[in-house]
Amino acid sequence: MTKLALITGASSGIGEATARKLASMGYDLILTARRADRLENVAAEIRAVHNVEVQNLIFDVRDEKACEEHLAQISDERPIDVLVNNAGLAAGLEHIDAGSTEDWNAMIDTNIKGLLYVTRIISRRMIKAGRGHIVNLGSIAGTQPYENGAVYCASKHAVHAISQSMRSDLVAHGIKVSEVRPGMVETEFSVVRFHGDAERAKGVYRGVTPLTGSDIAEVIGWIVSQPAHVNIDDVLVTPQQQANAYMTIRK
């Protein structure tokens, strides 16, 4: 039977690339994001190239009720084989005293609470089915906190902790849990972090060949292709020029 994957935040970047990768592997897809037009374009392009079904759900993962209402639209008839908890953002890059509480709330509500809302609903379906695989998008920031990034780093530390606890919570139900933790990936991430300042965003990748969304999608494709008895718990992926969160060699 054709496998089914649900990917949050599939309207750009890593989520979009993962949608294309899993479609190329024959997965039917349920894609979520807030921007309906962007998600519709992604779905249309995937349908044109791959013989798979794509269902779009447009909602904000910060809204618990919206998560419940939209995810209830998924047919009960088919188990969800893979959930990729990818929707997330960084907002702002400054010392703690200069931080914006609006930015902090956006990161905490999306990266932590949104992931939890979606996971609670989908994990219940997976438990019923007795199988499934959850892949969380953590970050290098989830173990290596850096200056100016207190709340983003805290949110990804939370994803790291949640991933490890979930692994224990779900192991007896035959469900796999994996975390992928990238370093620098050039997507819309930095434009979003700098509130639309594309020039400043470009500077993040100056002199570096960063990872692409497709690089991370390849890793996710590999993780979900392992035999039933193999669980990839945690993968840290960085550009060759980025040794860690604190050391990047720019050419």
Q: Which residues are catalytic?
A: 152
Q: 89: part of which helix (H) or strand (E)?
A: none
By beta-carbon proximity to ligand 8X3, the closer residue of 3 and 160 is 160
Q: Residue 245: which of ligand NDP, ligand 8X3, none does it interact with, CB under 5 to 8 A by kind?
A: ligand 8X3
Which residue in 23, 82, 88, 93 binds ligand NDP (CB under 6 A)?
88
**15 in contact with ligand NDP (CB under 6 A):** yes
Which window, 61-69, 103-111, 119-127, 134-142, contacts ligand 8X3 (CB under 6 A)? 134-142
In this structure, the number of other CB atoms found within 10 A of the CB of residue 99 comes to 16
**Using CB under 6 A, which of the segments 21-29, 39-47, 139-147, 172-180 binds ligand 8X3?**
139-147
Query: Please, what is the minimum distance in Å from the beta carbon of residue 140 to ligand NDP?
Result: 6
Q: Which of 12, 71, 245, 248 binds ligand 8X3 (CB under 6 A)?
A: 245
Smaller CB separation from ligand 8X3, 56 or 155: 155
Positions 93 through 112 that interact with ligand NDP (CB under 6 A): 110
Nearer to ligand 8X3, 226 or 244 (CB): 244
Provide the Cα torsion 206, 158, 192, 134; round to 10°. 100
Kindly report the number of other CB atoms within 10 A of residue 182's CB atom: 25
Phi first, then psi: what are they for 247, rounded to 5°?
Answer: -140, 110
Question: Is residue 139 a contact point for ligand 8X3 (CB under 6 A)?
Answer: yes
Show the CA angle centred on residue 184, arms to residues 234 and 111, nearest 5°.
Answer: 60
User: Token pair of 118, please?
Assistant: 């979606």
Per CB under 6 A, 9 contacts ligand NDP? yes
Secondary structure of residue 181 in the 3-state scheme: strand
Nearest approach, Cβ of residue 110 and ligand NDP (Å) = 4
Task: Please provide residue 127's backbone torsions phi and psi, each rounded to the nearest 5 degrees.
Answer: -60, -40
Q: Does 149 bind ligand NDP (CB under 6 A)?
A: no
Report, in Å, the least distance between residue 245 CB and ligand NDP: 10
Residues 6+ apart with CB under 8 A from 14: 86, 137, 182, 185, 187, 213, 216, 217
| 8 Å CB contact between 27 and 81 | yes
Residues 6+ apart with CB under 8 A from 96: 150
- CA dist., res. 214 & res. 181, Å (int): 14
CB closer to ligand 8X3, 15 vs 183: 183
Which residues make up the interface to ligand 8X3 (CB under 6 A)? 139-141, 183-184, 245
Which residues make up the interface to ligand NDP (CB under 6 A)? 9-15, 33-35, 38, 60-62, 86-89, 110, 114, 137, 139, 182, 184-185, 187-189, 192, 213
